Every structure is written in structure tokens, then in C-alpha cells.
Structure 1
């Protein structure tokens, strides 16, 4: 798994990168949020570790941009902080979409623990997404079950969910296997 790192302090960036690589991760490291954002746009990563305060774009703005992309899988965002922030700053960070915090100087064990949590949450997020994308359908009548445990025709369900209208016709296979024999039977009866 690749981890995107945004850290303006060269020593901190190298220490973090080395630690992550020793844990078996690939690392894309950048010295500011703008470069990290451009890299994320090219190839979204599932875990980001970003410094809070950086030139050009800080960690909160980077997180807000990541969260504004609806077409990407969930990204776990860890924010690095050197100073003891106050309650209001932490609330602002949480509202920006931050998942977790790491204090600087970084403790290798704390980094490892945060990454275990991140991987677990990402795994569960993927499992939930897979479950949400399943649509129960009756093997016999082909009705589908909605979230309220109500069974309805496929056409009704799709119309309700997407606003799509249906026009009915007969496909070539059904025409040959069903309609044509019925028409032939009717013509023999006359």
C-alpha cells in the first residue's frame, strides 16, 4: 500500500518516510500540500499523513480537497501537529474531515498503531461498500428487495432509485423462443 506524505520539514519528512518504508509501505512524499494534492489527483492514495501547518496549502485545506472528491474511495487522513492545539482547532480539524492525529516529534510505535487503525477502517469501509452495492433479487419472480424489506418489480425499483422510465419491448431471443411459437400456435388455431 502506498501512503501519501505531506510534510514541509525535511528532517521530519525523511524520518517519517524511512519509518513507513521499514514497515513495508511505499511512500510518495511532498514538501507542501499543493504538490501532495496534485499527486493525489493523479493517483489517489488510501492513506495520507500530512503536517498541519505548511506553506502554500496546509493540512486542513488538503484534507478538505480530498474529501471534496466524491469519485474516490475513502482516504484515511492523519494530521501531524507539533503544538498542543486547543479544543477549537481540533474541532475545526475534525470538521475538515481529519480521521486521526499524530504529535510531533513522531513516535514510531504511535505511527505503527495509527496505520493499523487506518488499515482496519479502510478494510471495513470497503466491506460496507460491497454490501451496499448488493441488490437482493428473487430467483423466481425477479422482484428486488429494497432497504425497507419491501419486494417490488425491478422496473419500479430502478425508477424509484434513478428516475429512469421504461418502455417495454421484446428482445430477439424472447421473440424466437416465446412470441414466435405463440403466434404460430394462434395462426394454426384459425
Structure 2
């Protein structure tokens, strides 16, 4: 996996990067949240390991930006904590979108276990995203089924979700195969 690391402490950053590389991962490491965000925004990854307290952009604000970025596959976000935090602080982190926590000093086994969980969750997130992106459409009338099992015209369904307006026309193939033969029939029947 490609993993983005944001850690302002040089020794911790080097230790984490080396460990992740030894596990076979590709690592991008940054010493602050702002640079890490810029890298993520330019080329999103599926796993981020970030320190909580960093200059320029802390771990929670970094996570919030990741969660708000549109059209991005789900990113598993692990937050590094230097000391034991209280329940309220952890709740704030969870509300920001943090998936998991790793305590410092770093433990190789803990990192490995967290990454195994991340891989499993990301696999399921991809499956769910694929299933949610499928649009059930009737083979006969071409109506679409919504989440409430209500069947409606494709145009209505898309308009409600995207605000798209539609105009109707006939493509050249359908004109040749459907419309023109009907027009020819009408011309034969019309009195001259």
C-alpha cells in the first residue's frame, strides 16, 4: 500500500517510515500537516498515519480536510498519540473522522496489526462503494429503483440527485431504425 506519514518529530518519522517500508509499503513522509495535505490533495492515498500535534496543520484538521475532499476513495486515518488522552479528546478525534489510534513510542507489532485492520476495512469500503454505485434499472421500461424501492424514470432519478435538466431527442440510429419506418408508414397511409 501507499501510506502517507505526517510526523513533525524527525526520529519518530524516520522510525515509522523505515518500519512501514520493511513491511513492504511505499511511504511518503512529511514533517507537518500542511505539506502532507498538499501531497494527499495532489495524489490521494488509502492510508494516512499522522501525529496529532504538528505545526501548520494538526492531525485532526488534516483528517477533517481529507474527509471533506470530494470524489476520494475512503482513506483509513490512524492518529499517533504521545500521551494518554481523555475520553472527550478521543471523542473529538472520532468526530473529526479518525479511524484508529497508535500510541507513542511506536511498537512494530501494533503498527502491523493496525495496518492489517486498515487493509480489511479498505477492501470492504471498496466493495460497498462499488455496490452503491450500481444503479438498478428495469430491462424493459428503463425505470430506475431508488433506495426506497420506488421505481421512477431515469431522468427523474438523476435530476433529484444531481440537479441535471434533461431534454429529449432521438439519436441517428434510433431515428433510422424506429422513427423513419413509422414516418414511412404514415406517408403510405395518407391520401394524396
The aligned counterpart of 2:19 is 19
In the TM superposition, what whole-angstrom CA distance separates every residue of 1:93-145 from its partner, at most 9, and x where no partner exists? 11221111001111111101101111111111111111111011122222221
Question: Whole-Å Cα distance in 2 between the matches of residues 28 and 137 of structure 1?
Answer: 42
The aligned counterpart of 2:181 is 181
Q: How far is 1:81 from its partner?
A: 0.9
Question: Whole-Å Cα distance in 1 between the matches of residues 10 and 119 of structure 2?
Answer: 26
Q: How far is 1:160 from its partner?
A: 3.1
Query: Could you say if the C-alpha distance between residues 136 and 91 of structure 1 is closer, same or farther in structure 2, counting changes exceeding 3 Å?
Result: same
Report the count of equivalent residues: 190
The aligned counterpart of 1:133 is 133
The aligned counterpart of 1:145 is 145
Query: Could you say if the C-alpha distance between residues 162 and 10 of structure 1 is closer, same or farther in structure 2, counting changes exceeding 3 Å?
Result: closer
In the TM superposition, what whole-angstrom CA distance separates every residue of 1:70-105 from its partner, at most 9, and x where no partner exists? 232221111111111111211121122111100111
Query: Could you say if the C-alpha distance between residues 160 and 50 of structure 1 is closer, same or farther in structure 2, counting changes exceeding 3 Å?
Result: closer
In the TM superposition, what whole-angstrom CA distance separates every residue of 1:24-64 from its partner, at most 9, and x where no partner exists? 10000111112211211221111110111222322122112
